[in-house]
Amino acid sequence: MQSQNLLRLSIEIFGSGLFFVAFSALIFWPLEEIFEGEGAARPKLKDLAYLWFYQSYGLWIAAGIVYEVAFLLRGLLPHSWSATVQHQPFWLQATAALLMAEIWVYTAHRLSHKSSFLWKFHSVHHTVTEMTWSASSRQHPVDFLFIIVGANLPALMLGIDLRSIGLLVLLERVYTVLLHSNLKLDWGWFSKVFASPSLHRVHHLPSGNDKNYAGILSLLDTLGNTYQPPAPHEVAKLAPNTIPGIWAEACEDAELGFKTDRS
């Protein structure tokens, strides 16, 4: 019976990743084709594999690590803390979970660009030079776990409602696909509060590599003096013979051997 349950769970996890890929494809692929036409990047099998794995088994591996570490750390906190948190309304718990996660994402992302050690792993993600929904999860496993585990650990450690954490993870995953889509969307003034695809496009250019670190709340970039709005020349597609194209070629080497020189 136990083996049957494990098999069913494994199949369900496998299917959840396929569902996420299919959902993303149905939403973002047609939009890219409609608005970008011939300029739309076609999905690569490697990127679809990244997307499927990290949205299925990758998330479950991260969840297991978060649960075990949170269980150990919760024992170090006064019981009154978690009791107080659990008595708060759902919306407040969800808001707190989002803020803690976003602060971690911003801090960890910025650190990954400053630390030569962390950059060895994060540089894999910066081989994405043609923005497209399918490449949103092109990451090294260490980089993925560093972000996901750290983002969700505080909320679980404090005993925040698991439903709010689940909603946060779903929102973050879908929003990440949106940010990497080849859609030149900008929220205008509100982009200083919520990140847009155009802002993240800037981040994936060498000229903006030290800007726009936030995942969802670009308010953190605004407060951290790392906010940079898009300019017309920065939202153009990267040509292979330009400086960004040369930089992208160097990043491809990083994906294979992690030897990219950030300078």
The token pair that represents 81 in the structure block: 């803390």
262 belongs to a structural domain: no
Higher pLDDT, 117 or 255: 117
80-113 pLDDT tens trace: 877 888 889 988 999 999 999 999 999 999 999 9
151 belongs to a structural domain: yes
Q: How far is CA 67 from CA 3, 30, 108, 119, 153, in A?
A: 23, 37, 20, 27, 8
226 belongs to a structural domain: yes
Higher pLDDT, 3 or 179: 179
Beta strands in 149-242 (DSSP E): none
pLDDT at 173 over 90: yes
248 belongs to a structural domain: yes
Residue 193 has a pLDDT of 95
Name the pLDDT band for 250 (thresholds 50, 70, 90).
very low
263 belongs to a structural domain: no
188: left (phi over 0), alpha (psi -120 to 50) or beta: left
52 belongs to a structural domain: yes
26 belongs to a structural domain: yes
Residue 237 has a pLDDT of 44
Total domains in the chain come to: 1
Name the pLDDT band for 244 (thresholds 50, 70, 90).
very low
**DSSP one-letter code for 241:** T
pLDDT at 23 over 90: yes
Residue 249 has a pLDDT of 45
121-151 pLDDT tens trace: 999 999 987 889 999 999 999 999 999 999 9
**DSSP one-letter code for 77:** S
If one counts every other C-beta atom within 10 angstroms of the C-beta of residue 152, the result is 27
Residue 19 has a pLDDT of 94
Residue 233 has a pLDDT of 53
163 belongs to a structural domain: yes
Residue 1 has a pLDDT of 62
Q: What's the whole-number mean pLDDT along residues 220-235?
A: 82
Where in the sequence is the domain holding 27, given as residue range(s)? Answer: 2-257
Give me the count of residues in the chain: 263
